[in-house]
Amino acid sequence: MKHNKHLLGLLLIVLIGLAACSQAPINKKKLQKPLTLNISAEPSVLNPILSTDSASSKVIDLVFSGLLRVSTNLELIPDLAQSYTINSEGTIYTFNLHKNAYWHDGKPVTAEDVKFTFERILDPKTNTVRRSNYIINGKEVQFKVINSHCIQAILPQPFAPFLTHMTMGILPKHLLSNQDINTALFNRNPIGSGPFVFQEWHSAQFIRLKRNENYYGKRPKLGSLLLKIIPDQNTALISLEKAEIDQSGISGKDYARYKDHPEFSIHRYEDLVYTYMGFNLKHQFFKDSQIRKAIAMAINKDAIVNGVLKGFGTTAHLPASPVSWAFPETLKKNPYPYNPEKSRQLLKAAGFRKNKQGILQKNGQPFEFTLITNKGNKDREKVAQLIQQFLKSVDIKVEIRLMEWSSFIKIVNAAKDPKDFDAVILGWSLGLDPDGHSLWHSSQYPKGFNFVAYNNAKVDKALQKGRLTMNTQHRKTIYKQVYHEIAKDLPYIFLYYPESLTGIQDRVKGLSPAGPAGLMNPIENVYLQP
Amino acid sequence: MKIFILKRILAAIPLLIGITALSFVIMKLAPGDPTLIYTDPSVSLEDLKQVQQNLGLDKPVLHQYMYWLKNMFQGNLGYSYLSHKPVIVAMTERLPATLLLATVSLVVILALTLPLGLISGQKKDTLFDHSVTFFTFLGMSMPTFWLGLMLILALSLYWPLFPSSGFIDLSLSQAPWPQKIASILWHMALPLVTMVLGGLAALTRYHRFGIIGTLKQDYITAGRGRGLSEKRLLYKHAFKNASLPLVTILGLELPGLISGSFVIEYIFAWPGLGQLGVQAVFARDYPILMGTILFSSILMVIGNLIADIAYAWVDPRVTLK
């Protein structure tokens, strides 16, 4: 017992002592802390052709470079490829590589590396989900080395979205050619040709990078970079407040608390994403477009944006993000504005009458359906509840079911017809290219992401044409038609484009305007105020 | 003694095989598979199918299990689907953080539980007893994530004594060992307090009941009759016997402590096994899951074994056969 008392006392002393002496040496050092970013999650694998998670790509974007990269204006600009040409048919892409591009180990980057990278992606033994990007109409894209710094991609037929896939990070052949790419140690100690060199990775703690002194592009102003892994959003915010990290995402509800913070500023931008409610178009009621229209008119999207996003977002009416070049300004208006009275009339016209329980009914079938979404996504859960309320006011009964992600996707992705759901709430993040083939083409049902079973011959045709047309202006017209049809047909009720909020310490300078391409893009311009 | 341990270890092998087989089947019964985390309109289903095939996920469950078992006996637990790391590497790099937090918190919990339980038991129904009950239960009933965040708010943000999260000060990678250890312990303070406050109640209660029960025994009354001091009765005679149930409970708690506390690790960005395991569940990272299950089953067996040995050691009536 006495021992215990001593022990306790000792422990307290040790703890307090630690708090005191650990702080002391840090205060003494006046060294400037490197730029410290939070990547929120442990990256899975630092190999551009294998990774799919955002934490990994944040690191990969700094360490590797692709033939092209994405500019602040969301345009594709030359990176490892100093220049490129496309033949008039749009089938041969010729890339001229930077002559002074070197791997972080000092070896030159050559056309052989490029060929190697894409061949590894195309190799079925590689556990990558990017293979289809380089297979067009069942035929693989051929990569042909012209000379050590010139490579051609030969497409079996024109394919407009192809160029967006040329941002893929290039791998060093000399380090990987005799390795199993799926399990190579390289994936944890990557060597790229990007602006920063990988230094160390402490699992679930941090990744440290340092400047690539031999970078072929503009020399980065930052000497080093620290990427911390702080999974909890609340903890990350406190770390931002304490200036332990330089940047953190901020949710709409915390905006008011931080907007006037003296040491960091909040940047807002619209991302390439939208949230929607998707109908199963094989459902007995939802197959009728008048009923979908009635539901659309019963839902107040502005209330959803204000209620769920605290106003940090805009209502959506079509499947393209306003930041995309293909976004048609002329279709901005909601074709089916909120009007519960009109909604009731439409439902009445469709033959629905209230039953004893006060629910609409047609041919003895009450209008009840289950709305599913993934558990854990608070925004979507709230959207579901609001939609439930809106539809209750027009006497439609909605049951909400929250499902764990894998189980949810299993239902939506099941290759069967019809599928086992009535309606879902989901969001899509869009690529740079407006090609919506995987979501809207009728061939993508029941196998594919057109799980709502949308089928519109006009859209099918336009989507095909959009892939074959190289001229951006022409493509813009084509996609305008696609969006017009989809907005009219309502296979989804498009709900909103959420705004992203990110807090960045004021000591970080050289930022680009806020946008989906990132404020710290290009990273070379970013520096710290001394 | 040696024969006893050997017997127990041999008996544990079929048990472990049973546990892993059952877990494997249950895991496979859960909907979804590891390729579902890639779901995104830019990924084609053919690619997912190819990856499934490469990982052998299209084979029958029994076949997959036998393959896993065969490799396991050769010391190969496979590669994580998510990080492509060998399972052994993925687990061992997370082990130190978990082990450290677990052992220190266990020691602290014991150091607090033993005196608290003892005094509460002896001074049953006094103000002290009631306040111990009240505060330990308060600690237990506060949700861990809330308690953790409140501690961060109070002791890191408003009164900046401790760092908000992490394992070590990242500027210390070249520093000498003592400084590194100090930094780690400093970072550990808040997760430790969260863990201790949450874990105090159960053991204190057990110990309190143990003391109360022991103090009612005839030999204590007899001792009192012989004129032994209350102090001597309590510390020398009651304490040891009352600690017996704790030994068993500690043996059972061992695997739980090691598997790590996901919530605490998540909030404090503590690089332990708990985060790894939970991430593996959601991503259906079967090799990591099987590794974690195997590891905690082994610990369960070891924990039980240690408990039995310790029991025999503290209680001479028990002999190991």
pLDDT tens across B96-127, in order? 898 899 889 889 988 998 889 888 888 888 99
**Mutation for B interface: A12, A18, A276, most B CBs within 10 A:** A18
Residue A257 has which token pair? Answer: 């608390």
Q: Would the pLDDT of A27 be above 50? A: no
When mean pLDDT is compared across A380-384, B126-130, B196-200, B284-288, the lowest value belongs to B196-200
Alpha carbon distance, N-terminus to C-terminus of chain B? 7
ipTM of the complex: 0.85
- Count Cβ–Cβ pairs < 8 Å, chain A vs chain B: 190
Q: Would the pLDDT of A450 be above 60? A: yes
pLDDT at site A507: 96
Segment B181-185 mean pLDDT: 92
pLDDT at site A7: 47
Chain length of chain A: 530
Segment A341-346 mean pLDDT: 96
Task: Give the H or E element holding residue A83.
Answer: strand A81-86
Distance of CA A465 to the CA centre of its chain: 26
**Mutation for A interface: B35, B36, B39, B105, most A CBs within 10 A:** B39
pLDDT at site B258: 66
Quote the minimal CA–CA distance from B40 to chain A in Å: 8
Residue type, A146: I
CA distance B191 to B7: 39
Cβ <8 Å between B166 and A228: yes
Q: List the 24-63 stretch of B: residues with Cβ below 8 A of A.
A: 30-33, 35-48, 50-51, 54-55
Residue B177 has which token pair? Answer: 């060992």
The strand order across the sheet containing A142-147 reads: A81-86, A92-97, A150-154, A142-147
Place of tokens 């709230």: A382
Nearest to B185 by CA among B299, B108, B94: B108
**Mutation for A interface: B165, B168, B237, most A CBs within 10 A:** B165
Number of H helices, E strands in chain B: 15, 0
With a pLDDT cut of 70, the percent of chain B lying above it is 97
Quote the minimal CA–CA distance from A26 to chain B in Å: 9
Task: Name the residue facing A234 among B41, B149, B183 (closest C-beta).
Answer: B149
CA distance B245 to B10: 26
Query: Does the pTM of the predicted model rise above 0.80?
Result: yes
Residue B24 has which token pair? Answer: 């494997």
Q: Which residue of B has its CA nearest to A208?
A: B170
Q: List the 132-151 stretch of B: residues with Cβ below 8 A of A.
A: 149
pLDDT at site B257: 67
Strand partners, A314: A497
Q: Would the pLDDT of A229 be above 60? A: yes
Q: Would the pLDDT of A94 be above 50? A: yes
Contact A144, A150 (CB under 8 A): no
Mean of per-residue pLDDT scores for chain A: 91
With a pLDDT cut of 90, the percent of chain B lying above it is 28
Give Cβ neighbours of residue A318 (< 8 Å, ≥ 6 apart).
A328, A331, A483, A484, A486, A487, A494
pLDDT confidence tier of residue A14, bands split at 50, 70 and 90: low
Q: Would the pLDDT of A23 be above 50? A: no
Contact B133, B119 (CB under 8 A): no
Strand locations in A101-158, DSSP E? 135-136, 139-140, 142-147, 150-154
Task: Name the residue facing A44 among B48, B82, B167 (closest C-beta).
Answer: B82
Nearest to A272 by CA among B36, B47, B38, B41: B41
Cβ <8 Å between A235 and B268: yes
Q: Estimate the share of chain A in helix, then strand, then coil, as percent rounded to the nearest 5.
A: 35, 25, 40
Residue A474 has which token pair? Answer: 């022409």
Cβ <8 Å between A202 and B37: no
pLDDT in tens, A128-185: 999 999 999 899 999 999 999 999 999 999 999 999 999 999 999 999 999 999 999 9
Whether B129 and chain A come into contact, CB under 8 Å, resolves to: no
Contact B48, A129 (CB under 8 A): yes
pLDDT confidence tier of residue A24, bands split at 50, 70 and 90: very low
Q: Would the pLDDT of B233 be above 70? A: yes
Q: Is B75 left (phi over 0), alpha (psi -120 to 50) or beta?
A: left
Task: Name the residue facing B51 among A26, A129, A429 (closest C-beta).
Answer: A129
Chain A partners within 8 Å of B43 (Cβ): 52, 129-130, 132
**Mutation for B interface: A129, A408, A445, most B CBs within 10 A:** A129
Q: Would the pLDDT of A124 be above 80? A: yes
Cβ <8 Å between B41 and A439: yes
Q: Higher model confidence: residue A443 or residue A8?
A: A443
Whether B184 and chain A come into contact, CB under 8 Å, resolves to: no
Segment A351-379 mean pLDDT: 93
CA distance A162 to A143: 13
Chain A partners within 8 Å of B46 (Cβ): 131-132
State the number of CA atoms in the 13 A half-sphere of A127 facing the CB.
Answer: 26
Strand locations in A119-215, DSSP E? 135-136, 139-140, 142-147, 150-154, 196-202, 206-211
Task: Give the H or E element holding residue A397.
Answer: strand A397-403
Contact A489, A458 (CB under 8 A): no
Segment A340-362 mean pLDDT: 94
| Residue A219 three-state SS | coil
